[in-house]
A and B are shown apart, each in its own frame.
Chain A
């Protein structure tokens, strides 16, 4: 089975600074997707960014970007110009190309200090 590992249970960043959340995964598949989801306290989980494994270019969504290292099976999330509203749990997730089943990491709690 695929596994997703987030080695940082909690991180803190100063407002307006940049922070990088780490994620590694283990798979023998060649067709898959990777995602970062954000779960604010007591609120629903929302998609931050997604990356198709076949794309070499790293995905970017405004202040959020990823560093996708396919050979190393690494998928880190960089948040630039951190804002108070970025404080949340962040989950890295893996989805096989052929199955709509997601594997989630254990999450990283991000604190943003004013």
Chain B
């Protein structure tokens, strides 16, 4: 079974731009969560989608948004990028009921 796939793996943007990250969950998993990982703040929950609906949301500004498609693939978007948005963005999928998260390798975003 293929794991969680995130694209792109690395990207560099400049302040003010926007970025879209993609995540394909494990087949059969309907829940997709996004986390931001930084050295200073650690792992912070962004949001979770389940069956195309945002079910949980973390404490991030509205510049951070996401969506999920009918095939469970998910995208997250960050608009008006700031230097502080530089981070590793992790996507994780789960089959509701197991409680376990399966992570992708992450998308490393650098904002210059």
Chain A residues with CB under 8 Å of chain B are 33, 35, 37, 43-47, 50, 91, 95, 99-107
Q: List 17 A-B contacts (CB under 8 A).
A: A33-B99, A35-B101, A37-B101, A44-B105, A44-B106, A45-B90, A46-B103, A47-B101, A47-B102, A100-B33, A100-B56, A100-B96, A101-B56, A101-B58, A103-B45, A104-B35, A107-B42
Q: A-B contact count, CB below 8 Å?
A: 49
Contacts of A100 in B (CB 8 A): 31, 33, 48, 50, 55-56, 94, 96, 99
Q: Is the interface of A mostly helix, strand, loop or mixed?
A: strand
CB-based contact A95/B99 at 8 Å: yes
Contacts of B96 in A (CB 8 A): 100
CB-based contact B33/A44 at 8 Å: no
C-alpha gap A95/B98 in the complex (Å): 11
Contacts of B109 in A (CB 8 A): none
- Smallest beta-carbon distance B95→chain A, Å: 10
Interface size class for chain B? 20 to 34
Contacts of B101 in A (CB 8 A): 35, 37, 47, 102
Sample of 7 further A-B pairs with CB below 8 A, known A100-B56, A104-B42: A44-B104, A100-B50, A101-B33, A101-B58, A102-B35, A106-B42, A107-B42
The reply on B43 being an interface residue by CB < 8 A is: yes
C-alpha gap A47/B96 in the complex (Å): 16
A99-B99 contact in complex given A43-B105, A44-B106, A91-B43, C-beta closer than 8 Å: no
C-alpha gap A106/B35 in the complex (Å): 14
C-alpha gap A77/B104 in the complex (Å): 23
Partner of B100, one of A43, A44, A47, A91: A47
- Smallest beta-carbon distance A17→chain B, Å: 27
